[in-house]
Structure 1
Amino acid sequence: MSKEESKVITLWIRNNGNHPQTLLEIQLPTEESQFHVDRLKVVKEMMASSKSVSSSREVKGQLVLQPKMAAYVNISCTTKYIGNHKVLLVFKFDKFRIGRHLTVTVIDPYQNYMPQQSQPMQGSQQSKTPFTRYRESMDDSWVVPGEKMTRYPKLQLPKRLGQYRVPQEIRNPVINSDELREVFPILEETLCYENYESKFSLLLYLEEIQLDIDIRAFDLEQVCLNIVGEYLSLKVPGLAEGRPSVLVGDRVYLSTPGAEGGPIFEGIVHEVHSDEVYLKFNAEFHSKYLGEDYDVRFTFNRTPLRRFHQAAEYAPNLGRNVLFPTTVENQPPLYNPSSDQATESSYLTPTKSASRVDISSQLTLQFFNRQLNDRQMSAVKRILLGQCRPMPYILFGPPGTGKTITLVETILQILTKLPGSRILACAPSNSAADLLAERLHKSGVLKLTDMVRLNAFQRNEDNIPDKIRPYCSSGNNLDIVVHYRIIISTCVNSGILYTYGLKPGHFTHVFIDEAGQATEPECLIPVGLVAGTDGQTILSGDPEQLGPILHSPHAKSHGLELSFLERLMGLELYSRDETKFVTSGYFDPMLVTKLIYNYRSHPALLQLPSVLFYANELEVKAEKTLTHSLCGWKSLPNKTVPILFHGIRGEDLREGNCPSWFNPFETVQVVRYLQGLLADYSSYLVEEDIGIITPYRKQVEKIRMLLSHLGRDVVKVGSVEEFQGQERKAIIVSAVRTNEELMNFDQRHILGFLCNPKRFNVCITRAQALLIIVGNPYVLMHDFYWLTLLKYCVENDAYVGCELPEKVTAACDS
């Protein structure tokens, strides 16, 4: 049926027994049902020829059905919500009950714009799994090298990064599917100073093996290349979506179909376009290529992993006070409040007259940003003083609390108050590093000669924000870059500074924003450059949000998924203590500042994450003109609570050989809400104000396809990971999974990505003024956090859609 369509069906009741039966009532489960039961009618006379009713009478109250007596009832259905709807109709007799399920599937015309592929995706092998192809292609001894790119023509680098190839004794047990915990007992050992390098080295090797396996899913069979000037171009299905991810400088390998032991030709990626890459092979290959078909194998850039290995190898040089601090050893302050001058000697030789108290409250500063709150100002002062260096200082910033603003102010204070300081500021992603650079630029304090934004040579310049381009360098002038007072980079790309031969301690301060999203070895790349008893490391992030993205289940479960920031906050010194630090937010103020003032969200949006993840400490400080701007939206059930949970019992599907899920019913409903928001001119929303989050790549693709058809391409649609650190006025979430039959069999497997508290937290904390969730309550109720959200929405009259499960209504009544 279509939405708002009406139909009527007739249900018959006949007593075929020998005794009368009393029908007390006919029940539907909820008044909100799309079904309606008309009055019961008793048949007085049937037409003999057609067996149709010629005469009947309505029944009021109870009905005694005598033997052979018949009655009927009309059930009408007027559809309101798309999806699969199923309700239980109960005929209640005096001694027993009879139940019949009423089902209806309501579709939307928009679903016709999402044709499903019945065939496997183009260019992928179906005969073998990625693991099998990986195992069978270990001998690449006969490789004809391609033509490499010239990276740094102006500089000969004095230091080289090691290769850190995966040892065969580690690769073989994975290939043979051995029990890794028995082969490598260190996996079960607790991380400590003594096993630090060896354990992380093993975890990184396991991660690389899994990356090798995963990328084989994108192998292409019997494809032809095109000649484009000096290059050979290769069409790559899925390239625009990053499946596979191919960057300038990556290697692509060609082999003759069906030929074993033949040469493998290496192509170097020189240019990346929307759906093709330009490659350069050996000159002879170019001259002889006449359009033959080849099998294609992709690779990934090993440089990040090599830098992780290097960082783990150098980590013990940082000392126990950085990696495994156990006691607070206060240092003399780096900044002398009385003379307004830096204590220059402390950079070189720490004095013995170290203060044992936090003197930040005595420090008066002229802040560049006059809007900082008390906790932000305290954090700036404590970092400036640096009394607990070299122990890392943690800025614990829940969503929307202004941790990046705090870092920017701190960097500016250090720059101006400590003349001998040299600052390295990093983040795991380019977008986060760009944001730091952009905020520093907007302060108006910096000169062009103060700061440099160090980019990887592969980075596409089109993706660099205009405002920071004057500060950018791609590393071809490192001899100049290293003399800037402030260097901004990603954690991985900061590793290039090692190749210049910089000694540990070159930088006095290292800042890592979004530190919770980086693996510990990744985080230690920049930390290694500030090594020494007087170097100071500042980690900013939130251990309650998503951590690093990993592929190997073995690496995840044995410690690589735990960020440096989260591991430190699990230590006694960095832990919350409600008796010891009552006046400083329950954390040791010398080591941690927790920000609690939220400048992003409506109070109703903030309440749930505050209770579930942040000890109910978050306080609303956002402007009402922003957070309450969508409370009048016509589709909101409760105009005081800008949340809407729309229950849909749809269907989760997959296409061809693609493992990712999509749900066409949710796709349509998400887009309908989007259209409704943009059509409401009183809300003044534009496409950039709305974000759509869904955990499955195929659902992202389907939503984008429908938006493109409607001319709404500007709206950002992405995974939870893609939205971390971002905010939108309105967020729409599509949960996708809806297979109720399998929930009792394997709850965590069916929920998949959804069954993750950190992912849930990020998902519901991106919205400023409106949060819409579209999902199946019968599936989501099996996870504690989603059940809590469902309960919250029901109790606040913020639920619409399919009938609620008994488990949810019972939770609300308790």
Structure 2
Amino acid sequence: AWKNSVLADQWLASRRGKNPAQGEQSYSRAQAREIIQQLKSNRREFICGKNGIQITTEHDISDGRIRFPLPSNEEKIFPISIKNTSNESVTFVQYKCLRRMGIFSFHDECSVSASKTLLLSPGAVYDIEVRALTAFYGYFPVTLVFEFMKGNGETGDGFLIVRFISAVSNSKLAEDLAPTSKYVPYQRDLLKEVERIEVDGIPPIGSSSYELEREVPLGYFPPPLHLKDSISSGMFSKDKMKKNPTSQSNLLTSIIDFNRYNEKFHLLLHLEEKQMEIDIRKYDQKKQKMERHPRDKHLLILEVPGVAENRPSVLKGDHLFVSLSEESEAPEKVSYKGYVHGVELEKVRLGFSH
């Protein structure tokens, strides 16, 4: 038998019984669509301050974004400050949301609107109060557009400044499982080959016993030099492999053949090795300080945030390369090889050359 279930609409539920403040009226669909298109074509132009007008909050992060935590059923109140840092007056015309989000409400002392503008004298600061309240968990974004005109508004020379406000309401479990290290986006400079002069460090006592016994000696098979150029030129991308197939790309896409399987696996292993070189560099850290071990003065301690989350396992006997921050761009950078003598939660003990 069918059973009817009523699902709560969080957005509509949070809007019931709420009247938007005067400055909270949103744009029409056509107006919002036009502003969104302008944002897509030149986002930087809309988020930066203009004509001496600066918009700030205590929750600013970057690129015009304002983000703050919002515990469930706890109202959050904070001001958005608009300051005229220029030597001329600027007219504050109005502020509107591209699309209303029910958990937010905005209030200001003068109820600024298109029919009730406010003249901001040089040095003047005007606050807009933001209130946010929700009974649900989730991510709640709203785009707020501020409209201004130069002078007293009679010139008709107007400009916009946009802020992207978002509230994040997490459960206790989500907070407990949150990452402890900062997210670092992909960096193209990881593809740049590192040339360095290595200075060997001090391995832990008995580290030689960690090596596995070799029943069959393995030779050294470095990736061919031309493979790096092929990767850099995008030879193995889908588009290049379709438009300009080469012997290597054909080998990569071909089915496994008894007569050429060794060539294919050679190529796959070499590609994997080059990928590992890039992947391991995702965990590079810059401008880090190391402390001397309190008991063993020959060792240095390095903090490695997130070592238990997404980093490769660091074991006793492994090694890291460290260089001086001021020599990071030097053509012949000296890298000091530090052997891991122990791992303590998010810290590693390293042994370097004297």
Fold in common (TM above 0.5): no
Query: TM-score band (shorter)?
Result: 0.3 to 0.5
TM-score by length of 1: 0.20
Q: Which has the larger radius of gyration?
A: 1
**Structure richer in helix, relative to its length:** 1
Taking structure 2 as the reference length, the TM-score comes to 0.43
Larger strand proportion of the pair: 2
- Structure of greater relative contact order (alpha carbons < 8 Å, 6+ residues apart): 2
